[in-house]
Structure 1
Amino acid sequence: MLWFVGLGISGLEGASTSTIQVLKKADMTFFEVFTSPISKQEISKIKKLVKGKLTIAPRWMVEDGKVILELAKKKNVVLLAYGDPYVATTHLELRTRAEQDKIKTRTIHAASAITSLIGECGLHHYKIGRPVTIMRELPSLATVYYTIYENMVKGSHSLLILEFDNSSNFFLDPRDAISNLLETEKGQKRNVIDQSTFAIVASRIGSKSQKIISGKLGTLVKTDFGKPPHTIIIPGRLHFTEHDAIKIFSTCLDEPFDNSSKIVKISDQMLSRYIPKARGALEEVVKMFKDDKTLSPVIENAQLYIDDAEKFQKEGKEELAVLSIGYAEGLIDALRLSRGIDPWAQSL
């Protein structure tokens, strides 16, 4: 038997009766420490509680899983984790392997810091978009940046989990994460985030020293958030009840506001440049070849494609709009290459 047991966000202090009973009866307990920091005091409490041997399980041991699965074939084994056991994909993969090996599995679910902090911050659960992890390496933030963009376009909130490496006791500081996000904006230039973007930093959720601070990124980047763990939330479209709750539930350094209201779709950013430029280039072509009847079909089709691009954009069909303006540019470029002209230079 292999149990997957969640301790919740308060450790043994908030553990259910079922959790205590399972730990007391287990022949072997593996306590994983790579998804959340665990204090020595908490480990000591659990060691006194469990009946069998307690093993602190690093990431490699759970990912490899061979020792855990082999023992579970004959003994009553527990994989213990903070929060809910299935927030970590590694645990899901281990359970899949256990079931494939005909090892019976059972689960005790519990609150996760990731899900708990949403309510603690005063946000609506159904408005959370795709979560993403911020790593310390700056190049990796392009994925984070576009996840925030996609969530914000939908009006959803972005949950940003900060890197935690138990083996080196490394926690990514929220200030470094924010600085890297702002630096990423300089490279991407899609106007997704800036100093005025409103965000929430939730620290040590579920502990006695829990702290939630909100404000503009320009303010938060100068703020000391204390000891980890921390999570950043960049809200999208705020309901008025969320707006009010943030002001009450957090130390609010700046007035909350709707980040989604200023977001412009990347396709619209492109079209706002491409359509006027293509129309200007086509006007130059018409001036040059207004008397050349052989080019009338090419000019007419280019004009129709530009008109289609504007129509599709108004209808919210951005993909078709970009495709249409691409066809128009292709026809104009064909004239440029075949006739040795450069209408683009004149249209700038």
Structure 2
Amino acid sequence: MLWFVGLGISGLEGASANAIQVLKKADMVYFENFTSPIGRTELSKIKKLVRGKMTIAPRWMVEDGKAILLLAKKKNVVLLAYGDPYVATTHLELRTRAEKDKIKTKTIHAASAITSLIGECGLHHYKIGRPVTIMRELPSLSTVYYTIYENMVKGNHSLLILEFDNSSNFFLNPKDALSSLLETENGQRRNVIDQSTFAIVASRIGSKSQKIISGKLSSLVKVDFGKPPHTIIIPGKLHFTEHDAIKIFSKCFDEPFDNSSKIQKISDQMLSKYVPKARKALEEVTKMLKDDPSLKPVIENAQLYIDDSEKFQRDGQEELAVLSIGYAEGLMDALRLSKGIDPWAQSL
């Protein structure tokens, strides 16, 4: 038997009675230590509860899984994790392998810091977009940046999980994560993150020292957030109840506001540049070729494609809008190549 047991967000004191009983009866408890740091006091309490039948399981042991599965074929084994056991994809993969190997599995779910902090910050769960992890290496920030961008386009909030490496006792500091995002903006330039962006930093959720601090990035980069773990939330469009809750539930340095209001879709950014450029080029083409009646249908079609592009954009059909402006440009490029003119020179 292989049990997947969640410890919850408050340690052993907050564990369910069922979880306590399962831990007491286990032949072996593997306590994974790579999804959240384990305090010495908490570790001591759990060791005492399971009468010493416990092994600290680093990431490689759970990912490999062979020793855990081999023992679970004969004994009553528990994989213990902070929060809910299935927040980590590694645990899901281990359960899949166990079931394929005819090892019976059972689960005891518990609150997860990832899900709990949303309500603790005063936000609505259904408005959380795709979560993403911020790593210490700067090149990886482009994925984080575009995840925030995509969430904001939809008006959703972005949940940013900070890198944690128990083997080296490393936990990414929120100030370093925010500074890296600002540096990434300098390279990407889509107006996703700047000093005025409103963010929330949730620290040690579920513990007695829980702290939630919010404000503009210019305010947050000056704060000492204390010991880990920390999670950052970049809000999208705020409901008025979320706005009010943030001010009450957190230490709020600045008035909460809608970060998504300044965001433009990539297609809109393209069209705002290409449509005026195409109109200017079409004016030049018309002037240059006005004496050739045979080219009038080509010019008229280019005009219609530009008009269609603007109509599609107004109707929210961005893909068709981009295609239409591309067709217009294609017609004018064909005239440029066949007639030896350059209408684009005046439109740059």
- Scaled to the shorter chain, the TM-score interval is over 0.9
Q: Specify the alignment match of 2:2 in structure 1.
A: 2
Deviations 1:106-144 (A, max 9, x none): 000000000010011011111111111111111111111
Letter in 2 for 1:206: G
1:206-221 residue pairs with structure 2 within 5 A? 206-221=206-221
> Displacement of 1:338 after TM fit?
2.2
Contact 1:25 1:51 in 2 (8 A): no
Structure 1 contact 23–51 (Cα < 8 Å) conserved? no
Match of 1:237 in 2: 237
Structure 2: distance between partners of 1:2 and 1:152 = 41
User: Is residue 2:182 matched to residue 1:182?
Assistant: yes
Tell me the SS of whatever aligns to 2:264: coil
Shift in Å at residue 52 of structure 1? 5.9
User: In the TM superposition, what whole-angstrom CA distance separates every residue of 1:33-87 from its partner, at most 9, and x where no partner exists?
Assistant: 0000001221111111114621000000000100000100010000000000000
| C-alpha distance in 2 between matches for 1:142 and 1:331 | 35
Q: Equivalent residue for 1:92?
A: 92
Taking the aligned partners of 2:104 and 2:129, their CA distance within structure 1 comes to 34
The farther-off stretch of 108-117 and 323-332 is 323-332
Q: Is the 8 A contact 1:26 1:51 kept in 2?
A: no
Q: Which residue of 1 aligns with 2:246?
A: 246
SS at structure 2 position matched to 1:175 = helix
Indicate the residue corresponding to 1:53 in structure 2: 53
Higher deviation after alignment, 334-343 or 182-191 = 334-343
Q: Compare 67-76 and 292-301 and name the one that shifted more.
A: 292-301
State the AA in 1 paired with 2:190.
R
Distance 2:105 2:162 in 1: 31
C-alpha deviations, 1:315-335, integer Å up to 9, x for none? 000000011111111111122
Q: Distance in 1 between matches of 2:199 and 2:285?
A: 49
2: distance between equivalents of 1:347 and 1:37? 58
CA distance in 1, matches of 2:42, 2:52: 17
AA matched with 1:335: L
- After TM superposition, the runs of 4+ consecutive aligned structure 1 residues lying more than 6 A away are none
1:345 Cα offset (Å): 1.2
Matches within 5 A, 1:130-145: 130-145=130-145
Structure 1 stretch displaced more, 25-34 or 37-46: 37-46
Give the stretch that moved more between structures: 121-130 or 85-94. Answer: 121-130
The correspondence of residues 318-337 of structure 1 with structure 2, limited to 5 A, is 318-337=318-337
Cα separation, 2, equivalents of 1:181 and 1:341: 44
AA in 1 matched with 2:115: T
| Matched residue, 2:107 | 107
Q: How many angstroms apart in 2 are the aligned matches of 1:119 and 1:30?
A: 30
Distance of 2:134 and 2:335 partners within structure 1: 47
In structure 2, the partner of 1:192 is 192
Distance 2:57 2:149 in 1: 36
Report Cα offsets for 1:275-334 as digits up to 9, x if no partner: 000010011010000111222222122111111100100000000001111111111112
Q: Gapped runs of 5+ residues in structure 2?
A: none
Q: What does the per-residue CA deviation read over 1:215-264, in whole Å, with 9 as the maximum and x for residues that have no partner?
A: 00111112111111100001111111111111111000000011122211
Output aligned runs, 1:1-348, within 5 Å: 1-51=1-51, 53-348=53-348
Q: CA deviation at 1:339?
A: 2.1
Distance in 1, matches of 2:333 and 2:169, equals 57
CA distance in structure 2 between the aligned counterparts of 1:195 and 1:331, rounded to whole angstroms: 43
In structure 2, C-alpha distance between the alignment counterparts of 1:342 and 1:224, rounded to whole Å: 58
Give me the whole-angstrom Cα distance separating, in 1, the residues matched to 2:143 and 2:108.
33
- Report the Cα offset of residue 336 of structure 1: 1.7
SS of the aligned residue for 1:80 comes to strand
TM-score (norm: length of structure 2):
0.98
Whichever residue aligns with residue 226 of structure 2, its letter is G
**How many residues align structurally?**
348
After superposition, the CA RMSD in angstroms is 1.0
The CA distance in 2 between the partners of 1:173 and 1:336, in whole Å, is: 55
Tell me the distance in 2 between the aligned counterparts of 1:199 and 1:264. 19
Contact 1:199 / 1:217 at 8 angstroms: preserved in 2?
Answer: yes
Q: What runs of 5+ residues in structure 1 fail to find an aligned partner?
A: none
Which amino acid is 2:195 matched to?
A: Q
For residues 173 and 194 of structure 1, what CA distance do their matches in structure 2 show? 18
Taking the aligned partners of 1:336 and 1:72, their CA distance within structure 2 comes to 73
Three-state SS of the structure 1 residue aligned to 2:36 is coil
- Alignment-mate amino acid for residue 37 of structure 2: P
Code of the aligned partner of 1:161: I
The offset of 1:146, in angstroms, is: 1.1
Which stretch of the first structure deviates more once superposed, 245-254 or 140-149? 140-149
SS at match of 1:79: strand
Three-state SS of the structure 2 residue aligned to 1:133 is strand
Paired with 1:185 and 1:342, the residues of 2 have a C-alpha distance of: 35
